[in-house]
Chain A
Amino acid sequence: MKKLCHILWLGLMLVAATAQADVVLVVAENSPIESLKRHDVEDIFLGKAASLPKIGKVTPLDRNDEKLREQFYTAYTGKTLSQVKAHWAKIIFTGRGYPPKTVGLDELKATLRNNPTAIGYMSTEQVDDDLKILKTN
């Protein structure tokens, strides 16, 4: 009985883990970017900076999958989608920039492979072998 409980518990944990698949930042395999600080992610995806120290200009890409987008911004910037939208209104209407281009998974993967300075995000199970997951700290 105790063992059965244990197995059930493990099973539940596994289900929970897959349901809450992590969102990861992804670049091309040959990208010069290896890891990013949490504030760099915010700078790039919230339009606070156009370039990274020692890397230069980077091109962030947003996703058209709203659920994934929400998951990404909550996890990496602590902002909800409406907060992100209000933030961009500030940037756009003071002439300081435009939000990242929004793309689907296929277009994202194609862009990442063609452009070593492009940065995108996807859920872990969507990452192919020729893409690199960025460490964030």
Chain B
Amino acid sequence: MTQMLSYKVLALSLVLIADLAIAEEAVLPTEEAPASYEANYARGFSDVFKFSGFGTLGVAGSDNDRVDFISNLTQPNGAGYTRDWTATLDSRVGVQLTFLPTDKFSAVLQVTAEQDWDNSWNPDVEWAFLQYALTPNLSVRAGRMVLPLYMFSEFRKVGFALPWVRPPNEFYNVPNHTVDGLGVLYQRRFGAVNYTFYGTYGEDDSRFPGDVHSKAREAFTLSNTFEYKDTSFRASYGRAKLTLEDLDDFFAIYRNFGPEGEAIYDEFSIRDREYSQLALGVWHDPGKWFAGGEWSRGFSDSFIQPGDSWYITGGYRFNKLTPYLTYSKTRRDHGTTPHLSGPTLAPLNDLLFTFVGPIRQSTITVGTRWDFAENAAFKVQLDHIMTEENSNTLFTNVQPNFDEGDSVNLLSLTVDFVF
């Protein structure tokens, strides 16, 4: 039912876009001037091929050796338990080749290298798509695209474009970040409001520590951005059918324990189960300062905890220094969940809790960005991460002596650059 509804929303959006595109062509007959210019304007090599890159060199240290802080779910280890200090959290490099043979056609390939699920630094394809502009306002894409889940999702790895060292962890820790499929991009100004629609549809296969495979199928995202003067509003919706076979096999073990076990498997299975989310964001940046925040609500048919996450942030620009302050929080919970009764089965319930128990965590972040060069910025950031009783966290390699309710302090120093 919800699926049908979702398709209808997608279809409706596409029809709306097509209508707008046609309406626009009708009132805009003045395409001749640029066309004639195009004809006697030879594109040079540097107009057709563009090469760019970005990167971050960073170290981060944690004061708690009982858990590893990670900045991305694909990282097998981080700062804290494995090492006090690590360069693997934020360090990365990305290169991009853009091919622009005509005004209407473009191809983008972006490859990034950073600590991967298997501890290697093998390069990954982040973006690889062909784009065609049907009108100056409407473009279609095919290939690999980063999902426009949240305000900073598409460039979350480009430290230079972020006010912070990394996007707020409680909000941006999503398993699947890219999709192989189709995209539609539409931009138009309606008076004082600049509107952008971006929709993607496709599938994804990602790998996580322990060689866990995550499959997202029939995944779509619809994102809408409205910019009015110095303020932008964003609303997006995403949905996918997820399969994590290794985890599903684990939950299937509980089926050996009678009807209670069957109920557990039925509730937490992650084979072709739907996950959807709604996200809203607002950002205000008049130049001297900025403030903004995002909120999201997830809906889940699997072991993945549904619930809300949000953050609020702000900063002030003193010439080249931009200190900032952020508070972020996540509360994801299944509510009452099935469990096995009988005292001898308690360890199985405890194990289950580590996968399906509530996730509650919040962070206060203070830091500053220093734009010491036109192409590079230095950042120093302190995160005070708070956990709660009877809750799971977003840390990894959690040791038995970590007490729920403990806090972790993380100091990060980075240099972000673009070229």
What is the interface of chain A, defined by CB distance below 8 A to chain B? 32, 39-40, 43, 48-51, 53-59, 78-83, 85-87, 89-90, 92-96, 98, 101, 114-117
Contact = CB atoms under 8 A, between A and B. Distances in A.
Interface stretch (B70-78, B102-110, B170-178, B325-333): B102-110
B155 A93 contact: yes
B129 A95 contact: yes
Contacts of A86: 160-161, 377
A51 B194 contact: no
Nearest to A78: B287
A49 B30 contact: no
A117 B34 contact: yes
B31 interface: yes
B110 A117 contact: no
A80 B377 CA distance: 14
B275 interface: no
Interface of B: 27-28, 30-31, 33-34, 37, 41, 47, 50, 52, 54, 94, 96, 98, 100, 103, 106, 108, 110, 127, 129, 131, 133, 136-137, 146, 154-155, 158, 160-161, 185, 187, 189, 192, 194, 227, 229-230, 286-287, 317, 320, 371, 374-375, 377, 418
Contacts, number: 103
B194 A43 contact: yes
Given A79-B287, A95-B127, A95-B129, A39 B136 contact: no
A95 B131 contact: yes
B377 A56 contact: no
A28 to B, nearest CB: 11
B28 A56 contact: yes
30 contacts: A39-B229, A48-B187, A48-B194, A49-B187, A49-B194, A50-B133, A56-B31, A56-B33, A56-B34, A57-B136, A59-B34, A59-B37, A78-B230, A78-B287, A82-B371, A82-B377, A85-B160, A86-B160, A87-B161, A89-B54, A92-B96, A93-B52, A93-B94, A93-B161, A94-B146, A94-B154, A98-B98, A115-B41, A117-B34, A117-B37
B161 A53 contact: no
A39 B98 contact: no
A93 to B, nearest CB: 5
